[in-house]
Amino acid sequence: TQLLEQSPQFLSIQEGENLTVYCNSSSVFSSLQWYRQEPGEGPVLLVTVVTGGEVKKLKRLTFQFGDARKDSSLHITAAQPGDTGLYLCAGGLQGGSEKLVFGKGTKLTVNP
Amino acid sequence: NAGVMQNPRHLVRRRGQEARLRCSPMKGHSHVYWYRQLPEEGLKFMVYLQKENIIDESGMPKERFSAEFPKEGPSILRIQQVVRGDSAAYFCASSPTGRFKNIQYFGAGTRLSVL
Protein backbone atom coordinates (compact mmCIF):
# COMPACT_ATOMS: atom_id res chain seq x y z
CA THR A 1 0.00 0.00 0.00
CA GLN A 2 1.38 3.37 -1.07
CA LEU A 3 0.79 5.90 1.68
CA LEU A 4 1.48 8.91 -0.53
CA GLU A 5 0.07 8.87 -4.06
CA GLN A 6 1.65 11.21 -6.57
CA SER A 7 0.08 12.16 -9.87
CA PRO A 8 0.74 12.25 -12.66
CA GLN A 9 3.52 9.67 -12.73
CA PHE A 10 4.92 11.10 -15.99
CA LEU A 11 4.50 14.55 -17.50
CA SER A 12 5.96 15.84 -20.75
CA ILE A 13 5.27 19.46 -21.65
CA GLN A 14 6.59 22.29 -23.82
CA GLU A 15 8.69 25.14 -22.52
CA GLY A 16 6.52 27.97 -21.24
CA GLU A 17 3.58 25.82 -20.16
CA ASN A 18 2.24 25.63 -16.61
CA LEU A 19 1.82 22.39 -14.67
CA THR A 20 0.63 21.05 -11.35
CA VAL A 21 1.78 17.91 -9.56
CA TYR A 22 -0.32 16.38 -6.80
CA CYS A 23 0.51 14.42 -3.67
CA ASN A 24 -2.41 12.78 -1.85
CA SER A 25 -2.94 10.60 1.19
CA SER A 26 -5.61 9.51 3.64
CA SER A 27 -3.12 10.05 6.47
CA VAL A 28 -2.36 13.28 8.30
CA PHE A 29 1.22 14.57 8.11
CA SER A 30 3.02 16.81 10.58
CA SER A 31 5.10 18.17 7.72
CA LEU A 32 5.52 17.62 4.02
CA GLN A 33 8.63 18.09 1.92
CA TRP A 34 9.14 18.37 -1.81
CA TYR A 35 12.38 17.15 -3.32
CA ARG A 36 13.83 17.12 -6.81
CA GLN A 37 16.09 14.29 -7.90
CA GLU A 38 18.37 14.16 -10.94
CA PRO A 39 19.50 10.81 -12.41
CA GLY A 40 22.36 9.34 -10.41
CA GLU A 41 22.00 11.90 -7.61
CA GLY A 42 20.26 12.18 -4.27
CA PRO A 43 17.03 14.10 -3.62
CA VAL A 44 17.53 17.84 -3.16
CA LEU A 45 15.17 19.57 -0.74
CA LEU A 46 13.00 22.27 -2.37
CA VAL A 47 10.60 23.20 0.41
CA THR A 48 9.04 22.12 3.70
CA VAL A 49 5.45 22.96 4.65
CA VAL A 50 4.13 22.38 8.15
CA THR A 51 0.88 24.35 8.58
CA GLY A 52 -2.45 23.33 7.04
CA GLY A 53 -3.29 25.69 4.18
CA GLU A 54 0.28 26.98 3.97
CA VAL A 55 1.48 28.30 0.61
CA LYS A 56 5.15 28.81 -0.21
CA LYS A 57 6.66 30.29 -3.33
CA LEU A 58 10.12 29.60 -4.69
CA LYS A 59 10.58 31.69 -7.86
CA ARG A 60 8.29 29.99 -10.42
CA LEU A 61 7.36 27.15 -8.05
CA THR A 62 4.34 27.36 -5.73
CA PHE A 63 3.78 24.75 -3.03
CA GLN A 64 0.56 24.28 -1.10
CA PHE A 65 -0.24 22.12 1.92
CA GLY A 66 -3.89 21.06 2.22
CA ASP A 67 -6.00 22.42 5.06
CA ALA A 68 -6.28 18.96 6.62
CA ARG A 69 -2.54 18.27 6.08
CA LYS A 70 -3.30 15.16 4.00
CA ASP A 71 -2.32 16.47 0.58
CA SER A 72 -0.06 18.90 -1.22
CA SER A 73 0.49 20.34 -4.66
CA LEU A 74 3.40 21.77 -6.60
CA HIS A 75 2.64 24.26 -9.36
CA ILE A 76 5.28 25.40 -11.84
CA THR A 77 4.65 28.50 -13.93
CA ALA A 78 6.27 28.94 -17.36
CA ALA A 79 8.26 25.70 -17.17
CA GLN A 80 11.81 25.66 -18.51
CA PRO A 81 13.99 22.75 -19.71
CA GLY A 82 16.04 23.16 -16.53
CA ASP A 83 12.96 22.11 -14.52
CA THR A 84 13.24 18.60 -15.97
CA GLY A 85 13.66 16.01 -13.23
CA LEU A 86 11.94 13.68 -10.77
CA TYR A 87 9.81 15.49 -8.22
CA LEU A 88 9.20 13.65 -4.95
CA CYS A 89 6.87 14.46 -2.09
CA ALA A 90 7.65 13.09 1.36
CA GLY A 91 5.71 13.36 4.60
CA GLY A 92 6.42 12.99 8.27
CA LEU A 93 3.53 11.09 9.81
CA GLN A 94 1.55 12.80 12.56
CA GLY A 95 2.56 11.22 15.86
CA GLY A 96 5.02 8.91 14.13
CA SER A 97 8.78 8.59 14.29
CA GLU A 98 10.99 10.94 12.34
CA LYS A 99 11.09 8.77 9.22
CA LEU A 100 9.75 10.14 5.94
CA VAL A 101 7.20 8.40 3.74
CA PHE A 102 7.82 9.04 0.05
CA GLY A 103 5.61 9.07 -2.99
CA LYS A 104 6.88 7.32 -6.14
CA GLY A 105 7.51 10.63 -7.82
CA THR A 106 6.52 12.57 -10.93
CA LYS A 107 8.98 12.44 -13.81
CA LEU A 108 8.79 15.82 -15.54
CA THR A 109 10.24 16.51 -18.97
CA VAL A 110 10.18 20.05 -20.32
CA ASN A 111 10.89 20.17 -24.04
CA PRO A 112 12.51 23.26 -25.59
CA ASN B 1 29.51 23.87 4.78
CA ALA B 2 29.72 20.36 3.39
CA GLY B 3 26.52 18.44 2.76
CA VAL B 4 25.81 14.81 3.55
CA MET B 5 28.73 12.74 2.30
CA GLN B 6 28.29 9.16 1.20
CA ASN B 7 30.91 6.74 -0.01
CA PRO B 8 31.50 4.88 -2.10
CA ARG B 9 29.28 6.27 -4.84
CA HIS B 10 29.28 2.93 -6.62
CA LEU B 11 29.90 -0.49 -5.12
CA VAL B 12 30.03 -3.82 -6.93
CA ARG B 13 29.86 -7.03 -4.96
CA ARG B 14 29.47 -10.70 -5.81
CA ARG B 15 26.74 -12.74 -4.20
CA GLY B 16 27.74 -13.75 -0.67
CA GLN B 17 30.16 -10.86 -0.10
CA GLU B 18 29.70 -8.05 2.40
CA ALA B 19 28.82 -4.46 1.53
CA ARG B 20 29.71 -1.51 3.77
CA LEU B 21 28.16 1.85 3.01
CA ARG B 22 29.35 4.96 4.82
CA CYS B 23 27.59 8.24 5.59
CA SER B 24 28.88 11.41 7.21
CA PRO B 25 26.03 13.76 8.18
CA MET B 26 26.01 17.49 7.66
CA LYS B 27 27.96 19.46 10.23
CA GLY B 28 25.86 19.99 13.33
CA HIS B 29 23.39 17.21 12.49
CA SER B 30 23.03 14.36 14.95
CA HIS B 31 20.21 12.39 13.30
CA VAL B 32 20.92 9.96 10.46
CA TYR B 33 18.46 8.03 8.29
CA TRP B 34 19.01 5.35 5.68
CA TYR B 35 16.65 4.81 2.74
CA ARG B 36 16.68 2.37 -0.16
CA GLN B 37 15.47 3.16 -3.68
CA LEU B 38 14.71 0.34 -6.07
CA PRO B 39 14.26 1.02 -9.82
CA GLU B 40 10.86 2.60 -10.52
CA GLU B 41 10.08 2.64 -6.78
CA GLY B 42 10.00 5.44 -4.26
CA LEU B 43 12.46 5.75 -1.44
CA LYS B 44 11.75 3.35 1.41
CA PHE B 45 12.80 4.06 4.98
CA MET B 46 15.19 1.56 6.52
CA VAL B 47 16.62 2.86 9.80
CA TYR B 48 16.94 6.01 11.93
CA LEU B 49 19.91 6.51 14.23
CA GLN B 50 21.32 9.04 16.61
CA LYS B 51 24.84 8.88 17.97
CA GLU B 52 25.39 5.38 19.42
CA ASN B 53 21.66 4.58 19.33
CA ILE B 54 19.26 2.96 16.89
CA ILE B 55 15.97 4.81 17.26
CA ASP B 56 13.79 3.11 14.63
CA GLU B 57 14.80 0.11 12.53
CA SER B 58 11.29 -0.85 11.46
CA GLY B 59 12.18 -0.68 7.74
CA MET B 60 15.33 -2.74 7.86
CA PRO B 61 15.28 -6.46 7.02
CA LYS B 62 15.89 -8.57 10.13
CA GLU B 63 18.46 -10.76 8.42
CA ARG B 64 21.85 -9.67 7.01
CA PHE B 65 21.35 -5.91 7.47
CA SER B 66 22.75 -3.82 10.31
CA ALA B 67 23.45 -0.16 10.94
CA GLU B 68 25.50 1.83 13.39
CA PHE B 69 26.34 5.46 14.14
CA PRO B 70 29.31 5.45 16.51
CA LYS B 71 30.35 8.30 18.75
CA GLU B 72 33.21 9.06 16.38
CA GLY B 73 33.13 8.55 12.65
CA PRO B 74 30.50 8.02 10.00
CA SER B 75 27.33 5.99 10.10
CA ILE B 76 27.72 2.55 8.52
CA LEU B 77 25.08 0.44 6.79
CA ARG B 78 26.32 -3.13 6.55
CA ILE B 79 24.84 -5.82 4.34
CA GLN B 80 26.20 -9.32 4.87
CA GLN B 81 26.04 -12.11 2.29
CA VAL B 82 24.58 -9.88 -0.38
CA VAL B 83 22.04 -11.25 -2.86
CA ARG B 84 20.98 -9.89 -6.25
CA GLY B 85 17.83 -8.41 -4.71
CA ASP B 86 20.01 -6.08 -2.60
CA SER B 87 20.99 -4.18 -5.78
CA ALA B 88 19.62 -0.68 -5.29
CA ALA B 89 20.54 2.90 -4.53
CA TYR B 90 21.05 3.48 -0.80
CA PHE B 91 20.61 7.03 0.44
CA CYS B 92 21.58 8.56 3.74
CA ALA B 93 19.93 11.69 5.10
CA SER B 94 20.63 13.81 8.14
CA SER B 95 18.67 16.35 10.13
CA PRO B 96 19.29 18.77 12.96
CA THR B 97 17.83 18.48 16.45
CA GLY B 98 14.85 20.39 17.71
CA ARG B 99 11.66 21.27 15.90
CA PHE B 100 13.25 20.89 12.46
CA LYS B 101 14.45 17.37 13.02
CA ASN B 102 12.16 15.93 10.35
CA ILE B 103 13.61 18.18 7.64
CA GLN B 104 16.07 15.79 6.06
CA TYR B 105 18.95 16.49 3.71
CA PHE B 106 20.16 13.70 1.48
CA GLY B 107 23.51 12.54 0.24
CA ALA B 108 24.22 11.55 -3.36
CA GLY B 109 23.74 7.86 -2.56
CA THR B 110 25.64 4.62 -2.98
CA ARG B 111 24.63 2.47 -5.93
CA LEU B 112 25.12 -1.17 -5.02
CA SER B 113 25.29 -3.74 -7.79
CA VAL B 114 25.35 -7.41 -6.84
CA LEU B 115 26.68 -9.73 -9.55
A54-87 pLDDT tens trace: 999 999 999 999 999 999 999 999 999 999 999 9
For residue A33, what are the contacts with CB-CB under 8 A and spacing of at least 6? A45, A46, A47, A48, A49, A89, A90, A91, A100, B103, B104
Residue of B nearest to A107 (CA): B40
* B35 φ/ψ angles, rounded to the nearest 5 degrees: -130, 155
| Mean pLDDT value across chain A | 92
Predicted confidence (pLDDT) at residue A42 exceeds the cutoff of 70: yes
pLDDT along chain B (115 residues), means of 10: 89 98 93 91 92 92 95 95 96 83 89 96
Query: Residue A104: its pLDDT value, please?
Result: 92
The rounded distance, in Å, linking the Cα atoms of B30 and B26 is 8
State what percent of residues in chain A have pLDDT above 70: 95
Rg (CA), chain A: 13
Query: Which of B48, B97, B102 to mutate: most A Cβ within 10 Å?
Result: B102
The rounded distance, in Å, linking the Cα atoms of B103 and B115 is 35
Per the DSSP assignment, residues forming a β-bridge with A56 are: A63
Is the dihedral angle over the CA atoms A72, A77, A81, A82 positive or is it negative? negative
Query: Residue A95: its pLDDT value, please?
Result: 65
Query: Which of B10, B30, B43 to mutate: most A Cβ within 10 Å?
Result: B43
